[in-house]
Amino acid sequence: MLLSGREKARLHYVKRAQKLPIIVWEKTMVYEESNHQRPEPCRKPGPFGRFYLQELVNSGGMADIWLATDDTKKTSALRLLRPTSFLDFTTRSRFIQGCEILSKIHDHEHVIGYQEHGKIEGIHYCQMDYVEGSNLKQLLVKGDEILHEFVGNILIDMAIALEHVHDSGFMHLDFKPENVLVTRSGGVRLVDFDLAQPKPDKPIKLSKNPGTPAYMAPEQLKREGIDHRVDIFAFGVSAYELLTGQKPFPGDSADEILRRQLDGSLRSPLDLNPALPQGLSKLLLKCLERDPDRRYPIMSVAVLELKSLLYIA
């Protein structure tokens, strides 16, 4: 789908954030993050029920995303769950729950648009708006110019998207650059709600602990009770990575990442990128506090501070 009128007009009508210096990822990190093989897609281009699969856009851990058209020639993105074992109830239930949560919260400019979900030829699918762009991880790997131009707005819009998820009564639980879609005009869409859960009134222990360790808070990695503040930590990791070109707690395993989180060796973003505003560095460090009670209590507070720091008057 071509960019909507709203996207085309973004540069003229959206309040602009100041430009921020970013550090391009080190080559070794780029290689580690990008040198992996895509799984084979579960379908080939061609008919799929009332849809026609035009082009494979991306393949993730459990699903493929296709550019598709329906019988009215309308373009959309189809996310197809890759076939699993008949006994793999967890993967199927996560996919379906993610679709149901998205259907409740998608009416927001920074969340991917939902159309329907169901099952065709034995394959679970979710039909979403097709937005032309790349995920933030891909842009980081390439050192894309769009980051230099729009990084301030991207940071604010990522935070607003997460604020909306929390205000809608959910935790995302898999917030990371790979799940932030960025359009060519710098617009942001949060995607992939397979791990999302209702937001509890007080921290709760989950029976399972899925997620990406590099973006998980200490209480998650220690399998303690969690609440929406783990998303605030994940936002801090993603923003730190975006602005410094490094992960705040690098490690090859969950245990190593947890050790780094607890040993007090976190480097200030200013040490890695001295041109950053001091207030922004402090904001990231507050998001990354090991103790959830020392982080922002709600995402709305971080959003207000980001706007105050970055919007051009």
For residue range 114-149, list pLDDT tens digits in order. 999 999 999 999 999 999 999 999 999 998 999 989
CA distance 235 to 111: 15
Handedness of CA 1, 196, 92, 209 (dihedral sign): positive
Q: Are residues 196 and 124 in the same domain?
A: no
The predicted pLDDT at position 37 comes to: 58
pLDDT of residue 18: 67
| pLDDT at site 87 | 54
Do 68 and 145 lie in one domain? The reply is no
Q: Give the pLDDT band of residue 28 (cuts 50, 70, 90).
A: very low
Q: Return the pLDDT at 85.
A: 56
pLDDT level of residue 59 (50, 70, 90 thresholds): confident
Q: 288: domain CATH number? A: 1.10.510.10
pLDDT greater than 70 at residue 64: yes
Confidence of residue 312 (pLDDT cuts 50, 70, 90): low
Q: Is 185 helix (H, G, I), strand (E, B) or coil?
A: coil
Give the pLDDT confidence of 73-115 residue by residue, as tens digits.
Answer: 999 999 999 887 555 788 899 999 999 999 999 999 999 999 9
**Looking at the structure, do residues 272 and 297 belong to the same domain, yes or no?**
yes
Q: Which whole number is the average pLDDT over 306-310?
A: 94
Q: pLDDT value at position 11?
A: 35
Residue 44: both structure tokens together: 């080939």
Residue 208: what pLDDT?
84
Strand-pairing partners, residue 180, are 190
Residues 151 and 51 in one domain: no
Confidence at residue 57, expressed as pLDDT on a 0 to 100 scale: 92
Asked if residue 2 belongs to a domain, the reply is no
In the chain, the number of structural domains is: 2
Task: Please tell me the predicted confidence (pLDDT) of residue 168.
Answer: 98
Domain boundary residue, one of 128, 151, 179: 128
Q: Structural domain of residue 82, as residue ranges?
A: 46-128
Residues 260 and 277 in one domain: yes
- What whole-number distance in Å separates Cα of residue 251 and Cα of residue 108? 35
Residue 7 has pLDDT above 90, yes or no: no
Q: Is residue 28 part of a domain?
A: no
Same structural domain, 117 and 155: no
Shared domain for 216 and 278, answered yes or no, is yes
Q: What does the longest C-alpha to C-alpha distance in the chain come to?
A: 58
Q: What is the pLDDT of residue 207?
A: 84
Whether the per-residue pLDDT at 277 is higher than 90: the answer is yes
**For 21-40, what is the mean pLDDT?**
53
H or E element at residue 257: helix 254-262
CATH of the domain at 74: 3.30.200.20
Residue 70 and residue 155 share a domain: no
| Residues listed for the chain | 313
310 pLDDT above the threshold of 60: yes
The average pLDDT across 232-247 equals 96
Do 112 and 141 reside in the same domain of the chain? no
User: Region 41-45: what's the mean pLDDT?
Assistant: 85
pTM to 2 decimals?
A: 0.89
Model confidence at 55, in pLDDT bands (50, 70, 90)?
very high
